[in-house]
Amino acid sequence: MEIKISQPVDCLCDFTYDFYWQHKGSRISPMGIIPHQEGTSYNYSELVDCLKRGEDVHIKGDAGRRLGSSLGVDLKYFGGSGKSLKVGSIIVDGNVDTRMGISMVSGAIYVRGKVREPLGNIIEVESGKPGYHKFCPITGLLQEGLEETIVPPNLLEGDSLTIRDGLLRDTIAARLDSDKKIIVDGNAGMSTGILMKQGVVHVNEDAGMNTGVLQRGGIVIVNNTEEFAGAYMRGGTLIIGGKAKGYVGANMKGGMIFLKGEAMLKPVPPDTGDISMLVKLLGISQVEAMMFKKYSIT
Domain borders along the chain are 1-151, 152-298
pLDDT digits 0-9 by tens, 7-30? 999 999 999 999 999 999 999 999
Output the pTM of the full model. Answer: 0.95
* pLDDT tier at 154, thresholds 50, 70, 90: very high
Q: How far, CA to CA in Å, does 266 sit from each of 117, 138, 231, 254, 275?
A: 37, 35, 15, 14, 19
- Reply yes or no on whether the pLDDT at 298 is more than 80: no
pLDDT at res. 136: 97
Q: Any bridge partners for residue 237, and if so which? A: 219, 256
CA distance 185 to 172: 13
Mean pLDDT of 177-203: 98
CA 181 to chain centre: 14
pLDDT digits 0-9 by tens, 80-96? 999 999 999 999 999 99
CA distance 32 to 130: 34
Nearest 5°: the CA angle 114, 88, 166 is 35
- Reply yes or no on whether the pLDDT at 232 is more than 80: yes
- Reply yes or no on whether the pLDDT at 269 is more than 90: no
Across the chain, mean pLDDT equals 96
* List of E strands, 89-203: 89-93, 108-111, 122-125, 133-137, 155-157, 160-163, 181-184, 200-203
